[in-house]
Amino acid sequence: MERTFAIIKPDAVERNVTGKVIAMIEEGGFKIVGMKKILLSKSQVEGFYYVHKERPFFGDLCAFMSRGPVITLVLEKENAIADWRTLMGATNPANAAEGTIRKSLGVSIEENTVHGSDSPESASFEIPYFFNQLELV
Ligand code: IDP
Ligand code: MG
């Protein structure tokens, strides 16, 4: 069993489609072992996305991710990290495969509805950034 970290981003919370995303997660065979709704501060987003701090869209990305509440999740299944990336789809919804969350619900390359850890190293940083052991059940 493997765990990965996911976020349902502000664009999805604003459009009331969090239930659709959660349904796709459950239909995809993931067990939700942690879930909470939070409003991130700009500096909390900057810490989370520090690997992107040199990229030109970093400021916009941090503003977007802190403009409204998000739902953070820890998902568990065999091969969870890669399988969640597959279910999310490509970063740009325009390039995402049919049946993926970003294809179905994404708005733009920035407002692309969901986040997912891209490696075991990322998951090991991202899960404890948001959840303590008692919150994972
Ligand atoms: P990922 O979410 O598919 O892993 P990353 O390259 O890690 O994509 O980028 C993190 C987030 O930054 C993306 O999900 C998206 O919200 C935003 N982003 C990525 N590339 C661009 C861009 O070219 N313009 C604006 N925002 C971007
Ligand atoms: Mg990424």
79's CB contacts (< 8 A; 6+ apart) are: 2
pLDDT given for residue 71 in this prediction: 98
pLDDT given for residue 105 in this prediction: 98
115 is catalytic: yes
Given strand 31-38, what is the order of strands in its sheet?
A: 31-38, 70-77, 2-8, 114-116
- Which pLDDT tens digit goes with each residue over 16-45? 999 999 999 999 999 999 999 999 999 999
Distance 79 CA to ligand 1 centre (A): 22
| Atom of ligand 1 lying closest to residue 115 CA | 2
pLDDT, block means (10 residues), the chain with 137 residues: 98 98 98 98 98 97 98 98 98 98 98 98 98 98
